[in-house]
Amino acid sequence: MDERIFVKENLKRLLIKEYMMQEVKNAGFGGLEIQRTPLGTRIVLEVERPGLVIGRKGAKIKDLTSLLQEKFNVENPIIEVKESENSYLNAQIMAEKLANALERGWHFRRAGHSTLRRIMENGAKGAQIIISGKLTGDRSRTEKFTQGTIKYCGKTSELVRVGYATAKTKPGIIGVTVKIMPPDVKLPDEIEIVPPTEEKEEKKEEEKEKEVIENAEGVKSEGNKGDESGGTEKEVS
C-alpha cells in the first residue's frame, strides 16, 4: 500500500511539473522543486524572467495557486519564484532555447554549435547536446555535440544538469537533450597543490638553523673527545 502512495505522489509531482512548464514557458522555465511543509506545499519555480510569472500586483501567481488547488488538489500551495543565476548554465532553459531556434527554422548544426559555444563561454566544465528526429530527411537520426568533460556513470554523473525539450517542426517532432557539467563541480582527478605560507617557510628556516647548530655542536664534541683520547695516550707512553 505504501508503494502505491509513493507512485501516486511522484506521478502527481510529474504532472505538476509538466503543467507549470507549459504555463510559464514564455518566462523561461528552469526547474521546479516541491517540498511538503507543516504550513502547506512549497513550490519553488526557477525561471529566467520572474516578472512574467508574478504578473501585475501578483495577479498571475495568484491564478497559478488557485489552479494548482483545483486541478491537482494541492494542500495550501505556496509558490516562490526564483530568478536563474546564469541561464546559460541551466540545462532546461538552454534546451528550451534550442528547441525554439529549431522551430524558427535554424539548421540543427548551427543551432547546436551555437548553444554549445554559449554554454562553454559561461564557464561550464563540459556540455553535450543531443538532437534526435527527422533532421534533414524522412529518416530519423541522432546528432551529438560534445565539448569538455561529461560524466556518464559514477557519483559525479549525478551532478550533471540535464534538460529536455521538444521542437514541433514540419517534418515531425525533434527531441532535444542538454547536459551541462557545472563549473563548481570538483572531479576526482582534479588535484590542488596548496603553496606554503610565510609562517611555514619561517618554521622550515628555523628548523634548518637548529639542525645546522646541532650538527656543528656534534662536530665540536667529537673533536674534543679526540683531543682528550690523544692526551691520555701520550701520558701513558
User: What is the CATH class of 88-181?
Assistant: alpha beta
Strands 126-133 and 173-181: antiparallel
Model pTM?
A: 0.73
Residue 233 has pLDDT above 50, yes or no: no
List the alpha helices (DSSP H) in 73-148: 91-103, 108-121
SS3 227: helix
Q: How high is the mean pLDDT of the chain? A: 83
CA 78-80-84 angle, 5° bins = 160
What the block records as the C-alpha cell of 132 is 534526435
Output the nine-digit C-alpha cell for 77.
500551495
What CATH architecture does domain 2-84 belong to? 2-Layer Sandwich (3.30)
Q: Which residue has the higher pLDDT, 199 or 160?
A: 160
Q: Would the pLDDT of 212 be above 80?
A: no
pLDDT digits (tens, 9 = 90+) for 52-85: 888 887 788 888 888 888 888 888 888 888 888 8
Distance from chain centroid for Cα 120: 13
pLDDT digit string (tens) for 175-187?
A: 999 999 998 888 8
- Report pLDDT for 115: 93
